[in-house]
Amino acid sequence: MNRLIAAVFCSVLLASSVASAQDASREGAIRDTSRHTRPQGISAMLYVPWLYGPGIGINARYEIPVVPDGFIPAINDQFSIEPSLGLGYRSDWGTDWDFFNITPAAYATWSFHITPKFRPYVAVGLGVDIGIWLNDDDFPGADPNSAWFFIDTAAGLFYNFSPSLAFRGEIGSGGPKAGLSFFF
């Protein structure tokens, strides 16, 4: 009986591997090594900043593919630059300090087209976080309005509903983000 279960399991595993290999080599999938023209895109994502305290914000990015066929010839990847602007509210942990944040940044994004619908990516962003103090209280001895440079590392994915619309989700050092992307 155990041998029968093992044989069925191995058969299912082998069949799924063959189907997966066939799927991976079709047009738009990970092993598609043909030349590609990648669309530009605009993403709008809600995010929850978590580094300094709870809050909520919106982030907009403009994706510009600069290496449409990526760096690895054997797979379907791409490299993009994404100028970004984030607007958010946060409250510092353990204080009554409230800030409005403006965060212009630029991201370098490396994507992998696993299937025509599914594209995970990794990204590194460099930017400036401009914090605007919202409280009326005095802040003796210092100006609470501030700006500092930041680095954001992130991993995410695009899930295409159509060639021009995708869900986009991301987790990064600045917090989780989710929204929609429009390609043109």
Domain boundaries, the chain: 1-32, 35-183
In the predicted structure, residue 6 carries a pLDDT above the cut 50: no
Give the tens place of pLDDT for each residue, 64-104. Answer: 999 999 999 999 999 999 999 999 998 877 777 788 999 99
144 or 34: which leads in pLDDT = 34
DSSP string for residues in the chain: -HHHHHHHHHHHHHHHHHHHHHHHTSTTSTT--S---PPPEEEEEEE---SSS-EEEEEEEEEEEEETT-S-TTS-EEEEEEEEEEEEEEE-TTS--EEEEEEEEEEEEEEE-SSSSEEEEEEEEEEEEEEEE---S--TTS---EEEEEEEEEEEEEEEEETTEEEEEEEETTEEEEEEEEE-
Q: Tell me, which fold does domain 35-183 have in CATH?
A: Porin (2.40.160)
Give the tens place of pLDDT for each residue, 36-73. Answer: 999 999 999 999 987 777 899 999 999 999 999 999 99
Average pLDDT, integer, range 123-143: 79
